[in-house]
Amino acid sequence: MINDKLPKIWYGGDYNPEQWDEAFWSEDVRMFKLAGINVATLNVFSWALNQPDENTYNFEWLDEQMDRLYRNGIYICLATSTGAHPAWMAKRHPDVLRVDFYGRKRAFGGRHNSCPNSPAYRKYSSRMADKLAERYKDHPGLLIWHVSNEYGGYCYCESCAESFRRWLQSRYGSLDKLNKAWNTRFWGHTFYDWDEIVPPNDLSEEREGNRTYFQGISLDYRRFQSASLLECYKLEHDQIKKHTPTIPVTTNLMGTYPELDYFAWAKEMDVVSWDNYPRLNTPVSYTAMVHDLMRGLKSGQPFILMEQTPSQQNWQPYNSLKRPGVMRLWSYQAVARGADTVMFFQLRRSIGACEKYHGAVIEHVGHEHTRVFRECAELGIELEQLSDKLLDSRVESKVAIMFDWENRWAVELSSGPTVSLNYVDEVHKYYDALYQLNIQADMICVEEELSKYDVVIAPVLYMIKPGFAEKMEAFVRGGGTFITTFFSGIVNEHDLVTLGGYPGKLRSLLGIWAEEIDALYPDQKNEIVLTQPWGSLHGTYACQILCDLIHSEGAEIKAVYGSDFYKGMPAITVNRFGSGEAWYVATSPDSAFLAGFMSNICESKGIKPLLPYQKGVEVSKRIKEDISYYFVLNHNQEPTEVGLGNEQFINELSGEVVENTVIVPANGVSILSNKKS
């Protein structure tokens, strides 16, 4: 349990009473109670209010808010307020201001605006955390710490340049090693002094859109900036832990946000929390994947849904309303995949500045007689009923998909072979194939312990870190099934090519050699032709983006290319290795192929769907002690009947016994439990 002070699904969201007159506060509390809200996130953007100058601190307003909320049964997720520095700090300590990718020193404005290597920012942000933790360490309403807000963005200032050089010295020890790791003899980039190294941005090695002349420095700068921001988090975290060692500490992540290596971050967080803002046209399986990824950050521990909108957003081009029922549906999607909380941005809509058209539990009209509030209140009551049943339940998967931020950076920084390759999309293609089969998958890091998995999929695993190939060989040798794809095994952790033939260190495991890589134009396709029918797969499927021209070196050829000069060369291979199998998918197949492919693989390993597939219906399962909870989420716009096989269930929301089938309303949810089977 995240914090046993509040042993149920937490329900609430961001709350900014400091933007409002006292008159609103009692009305807020009245409505929170109507809605079943039990947690409020305070103090997210109050740095300027808390600290009007270098040495003055003002927390009275916060004392009052925390006391009032707690008196009314509402616990506090206490933010540290360092997500945006005060204007006076920007004026008096310009080192807090970032230099942007274009080399421009920024002025005061926006948020996510502090240089992570700024001495002033580090000093004042950690001191703020210290002061807050000291002051509220014994507050009975204090439920969890929320450090800063949505960390992100890189800086390229002189402080960062200097810290980068120190970071490099510590990483490489000598310029000789750095020159080698970055292959600086290319284009005569040899460094003779650490001071010659400048941050890679639009003034030096990079161009917009992750284009770089030197992958080595660009990759390291991403590592360095991710680590620099994490250091800022840790400085606050450590101050907090001094005073409240047992209160959990988190910061809100942003799903597949590209700039931070969240697996590294999660190590420093007591619990993962994240902000979920799908667009109207985001595939639901994509959102599901991101929930699973957030759960995977800490190897399956429940996470916090820290933010979602009750209705619409403001920063999308077209901010559609969430249709009736959709907010509830998506809230349960989070819970289904490991969230033990449902929280909103925001509890009351602000009246000015850029987020005033972002939905809130309490809209501008200010009363409870709105569609949005009614839906929030209905959900609040439902979650109250569920009490602590689901808390700490786990998702169990036999299939794992690897996701790696450093690999992603390297793929995106690659100059050639194609601009069409999107790492996250390729990962999602495999995830989606499993999702459509109602087969649960974990999203894991490449370091994850694999013994509980039967199948491990690593799409486009371009970068092979030390020890990884050996680990996968052991996994397969022991009976595991490993699947990887084109453009895998190419480079080491420095983005230096492993010589001797692609896929490098995975070559003997996969039993193939990739001689060349052809890039297809967006309007070009090739075909995957099965060498013989295999399960539901037969005939021809489309493929695109990249085609590796591979030769089998022992692997069985399951399918070949259907056209172009490499017609007949292998497209899908499997290599028996020890007791297991290693698969190579040499191109990016269409979804029909992947559905059949994943189905065949899972069937061969005895991995069964949670429930029979029904179009538009998502199924996930959480397990607690000996009870399984099946979440049946109907994303269709009409009621849908879902088969349940031969088992009997209890509908946790209605209390009824359910057998054979369940009919789930449009945008509706059923939570069905039975003894763990």
Q: Is 232 within any annotated ligand binding site? A: no
Choose, by CB under 8 A, the member of 25, 277, 513, 613 that binds a second copy: 513
Question: Is residue 502 at the binding interface for a second copy, with CB under 8 A as the rule?
Answer: yes
If the CB atoms of residues 60 and 449 are measured against a second copy, the closer one turns out to be 60
Question: Is residue 351 at the binding interface for a second copy, with CB under 8 A as the rule?
Answer: yes
CA distance 378 to 206: 51
If the CB atoms of residues 499 and 677 are measured against a second copy, the closer one turns out to be 499
Q: In this structure, is the dihedral angle defined by the CA atoms of residues 537, 540, 542 and 548, taken in order, positive or negative? A: positive
Angle in degrees, 0-180, between the axes of helices 591-604 and 423-436, rounded to the nearest 10: 60
Residue 366 has φ and ψ, to the nearest 5°, of: 90, -5
Least gap, CB of 270 to a second copy (angstroms): 25
Angle in degrees, 0-180, between the axes of helices 371-386 and 22-34, rounded to the nearest 10: 60
Question: Is residue 69 at the binding interface for a second copy, with CB under 8 A as the rule?
Answer: no
If the CB atoms of residues 79 and 585 are measured against a second copy, the closer one turns out to be 79
Where on the phi/psi map is residue 607: left (φ > 0), alpha (ψ -120 to 50), or beta?
Answer: beta
What is the pattern of x (binds a second copy, CB under 8 A) and - over residues 451-490?
----------------------------------------
Using CA atoms, how far residue 462 sits from 183, 208, 402, in Å, is: 18, 22, 12
Q: Interface residues for a second copy in 38-57 (CB under 8 A)? A: 45-49, 52-53
Sheet containing 304-307, strands listed edge to edge, beginning at the edge strand earlier in sequence: 252-253, 273-275, 304-307
Choose, by CB under 8 A, the member of 67, 70, 72, 183 that binds a second copy: 183
**Which residue from 532, 590, 587 is spatially nearest to 557, judged by alpha carbons?**
532
Least gap, CB of 209 to a second copy (angstroms): 11
Q: Which residues of 329-357 are buried (b: 16+ CB within 10 A; e: fewer)?
A: bbbbbbbbbbbbbbbbbbbbbbeeeeeee
What is the pattern of x (binds a second copy, CB under 8 A) and - over residues 197-216?
xx-xx-xxxx-----xxxxx
Least gap, CB of 247 to a second copy (angstroms): 23
The number of residues that bind a second copy (CB under 8 A) is 114
- 307 is annotated as an active-site residue: yes
CA distance 643 to 150: 41
What is the pattern of x (binds a second copy, CB under 8 A) and - over residues 600-629?
------------------------------
If the CB atoms of residues 396 and 493 are measured against a second copy, the closer one turns out to be 493
Q: Which long-range contacts (CB under 8 A, 24 or more apart) does 643-652 make?
A: 643/611, 643/612, 643/614, 644/611, 644/672, 645/611, 645/612, 647/674, 647/677, 648/674, 649/673, 649/674, 650/674, 652/386, 652/389
Q: Interface residues for a second copy in 305-324 (CB under 8 A)? A: 311-321, 323-324
Q: Is 77 within any annotated ligand binding site? A: no
Choose, by CB under 8 A, the member of 1, 381, 474, 497 that binds a second copy: 497
Least gap, CB of 408 to a second copy (angstroms): 17
Q: Which stretch binds a second copy (CB under 8 A): 11-19, 125-133, 584-592, 618-626?
A: 11-19
Residue with token string 């983005």:
495
CA distance 562 to 557: 14
Q: What is the number of alpha carbons within 13 Å of residue 256 lying toward its C-beta?
A: 19
Least gap, CB of 563 to a second copy (angstroms): 12
Residues ≥6 apart with Cβ < 8 Å to 501:
507, 513, 514, 515
Q: Interface residues for a second copy in 586-605 (CB under 8 A)? A: none
Choose, by CB under 8 A, the member of 358, 505, 558, 635 that binds a second copy: 358
Cis peptide before 503 (omega within 30 of 0): yes
Q: Is 160 within any annotated ligand binding site? A: yes
Q: Which stretch binds a second copy (CB under 8 A): 184-192, 460-468, 529-537, 639-647?
A: 184-192
Given a contact cutoff of 8 angstroms between Cβ atoms, the answer to whether 3 and 247 are in contact is yes
If the CB atoms of residues 175 and 455 are measured against a second copy, the closer one turns out to be 175
CA distance 200 to 210: 11
Least gap, CB of 481 to a second copy (angstroms): 27
If the CB atoms of residues 63 and 516 are measured against a second copy, the closer one turns out to be 516
Least gap, CB of 299 to a second copy (angstroms): 33
If the CB atoms of residues 293 and 509 are measured against a second copy, the closer one turns out to be 509
**Which residue from 397, 273, 284 is spatially nearest to 332, judged by alpha carbons?**
284
Choose, by CB under 8 A, the member of 516, 641, 656, 659 that binds a second copy: 516
If the CB atoms of residues 28 and 652 are measured against a second copy, the closer one turns out to be 28
Q: Is 575 within any annotated ligand binding site? A: no
Q: Is 315 within any annotated ligand binding site? A: yes
If the CB atoms of residues 63 and 196 are measured against a second copy, the closer one turns out to be 196
Q: Interface residues for a second copy in 368-427 (CB under 8 A)? A: 370-372, 414-420
What is the pattern of x (binds a second copy, CB under 8 A) and - over residues 549-578?
x---------------x-------------
Task: Write out the H or E segment, with its range, that includes residue 151.
Answer: none
Given a contact cutoff of 8 angstroms between Cβ atoms, the answer to whether 76 and 114 are in contact is no
Question: Is residue 500 at the binding interface for a second copy, with CB under 8 A as the rule?
Answer: yes
Q: In this structure, is the dihedral angle defined by the CA atoms of residues 430, 435, 438 and 440, taken in order, positive or negative? A: positive
Choose, by CB under 8 A, the member of 522, 539, 643, 645 that binds a second copy: 522
Catalytic residue among 205, 206, 236, 307: 307
Which amino acid type is present at position 411?
V
If the CB atoms of residues 515 and 641 are measured against a second copy, the closer one turns out to be 515
Q: Which residues of 504-520 are buried (b: 16+ CB within 10 A; e: fewer)?
A: bbbbebbbbbbeebbeb
Q: Interface residues for a second copy in 70-99 (CB under 8 A)? A: 81, 83-88, 90-91
DSSP letter assigned to residue 17: G
If the CB atoms of residues 122 and 291 are measured against a second copy, the closer one turns out to be 122
Q: Is 115 within any annotated ligand binding site? A: yes
- 150 is annotated as an active-site residue: yes
Task: Write out the H or E segment, with its range, that includes residue 28.
Answer: helix 22-34
Question: Could you tell me how far CA 186 lies from the centroid of its own chain?
Answer: 36
Q: Which stretch binds a second copy (CB under 8 A): 66-74, 400-408, 520-528, 572-580?
A: 520-528
Q: Is 547 within any annotated ligand binding site? A: no
Least gap, CB of 87 to a second copy (angstroms): 4
Compute how many other C-beta atoms are within 10 angstroms of the C-beta atom of residue 625: 8
Question: Is residue 508 at the binding interface for a second copy, with CB under 8 A as the rule?
Answer: no
List binding-site positions for substrate: 111, 149, 315
Binding annotation: 111, 115, 149, 155, 157, 160, 315
Catalytically active residues are 150, 307
Residues of each annotated binding site for Zn(2+): 115, 155, 157, 160
